[in-house]
Amino acid sequence: MNILTGAAIEWRCDPYGVAPRVYFANHGSHLDFVAIWSALPRRVRRDVRPVAGRDYWARTPARRLLADRVFHAVLIDRGVTPERAGAAARASLARMAAEVAGHHSLIVFPEGTRSRDGEIGAFKSGLFHLSRLCPDAELIPVYVGNLHRVLPKGEFLPVPMLSRVVFGPPLAAPAEGEEGKQAFLARARAALVHLRGSHADSN
C-alpha cells in the first residue's frame, strides 16, 4: 500500500500509546483506512479496528475477506431508511464502544462520506457520542493527503501518486457540561484542518 501510493508517514504523537485510541481522519477514498492501518507500527496494528461501510466492504467475497480476515474491520450499516436511522446509529456506536472496551483502537471518518476535492467537510455527531461513551480513549486526528486523487470517488483502479499520513497530537475529549456537541465537532475538525494546512498536497 505505501509503495503504491508513495505514502510519507509523520508522527506528532507517540506511535506506541498504551490506551485505546480513536484515530479520526478525513475521508477522500476507499483507500483511506488501508493507508492509516498500514502506517501503524506492526504490533499496534493488530489491535486496531477500522470502521467502514458494510455496503462497500461486504459487497464482494474478496472485500469481505479483506475486511474480516486482514483488517478485522467493524462494518456498519449506512443508507438505511429514516425510520431505522436512529436505531442503526445507536447500534453502530454500541459496537464501536464495545471494541474500545475490549482494548481495541478504532479508525473512524467523522465526515461520514468521501470528499471529491480533498476538502474536509463538516463532522457528523458520531465522534462526539463515541468520545462520551469511551472517555478513556485517546482521540488522535489523522490527516490523509492526496488519496482522493490516488483513488477518486467512483473509480476502481488506483493511480500511483505521492500521498501523506500525518498523525497529530491527542485531542482533549469534550468535558462533561463544559463543551457542547457542535463546539467539540468544530474543534475536532479544526485539528485536521491544522494538520492539512502545513502541506502542499492540500491544494
Q: For the segment 138-188, what is each residue's pLDDT rounded down to a tens digit?
A: 999 999 986 544 445 554 444 455 678 999 999 999 877 788 999 999 999
Question: What is the length of the chain?
Answer: 203
The residue with greater pLDDT, 71 or 157, is 71
Can you give the pLDDT at residue 147? 58
Dist. CA 8–CA 114, nearest whole Å: 21
Q: How high is the pLDDT of residue 77?
A: 83
Number of domains present in the structure of the chain: 1
What is the DSSP annotation of 2-33?
A: HHHHTEEEEESS-TT-SS-EEEEE---STTHH
- Residue 42's pLDDT is what? 92
Does the pLDDT of residue 200 top 50, yes or no? no
Indicate which CATH number applies to the domain containing 135.
Answer: 3.40.1130.10
pLDDT of residue 123: 95
Tens digit of pLDDT for each residue in 32-69? 888 899 899 999 999 999 998 888 888 899 999 998 99
Q: Which grid coordinates are listed for 200?
A: 502542499
Closest CA to 72 of 103, 106, 98: 106
Residue range of the domain that includes 94: 2-202
Cell digits of residue 44: 499496534
pLDDT recorded at residue 150? 46
Between 195 and 159, name the one with better pLDDT: 195
pLDDT at 86 over 90: no
Quick: pLDDT tens for 91-127. 999 999 999 999 999 999 999 877 677 789 999 999 9
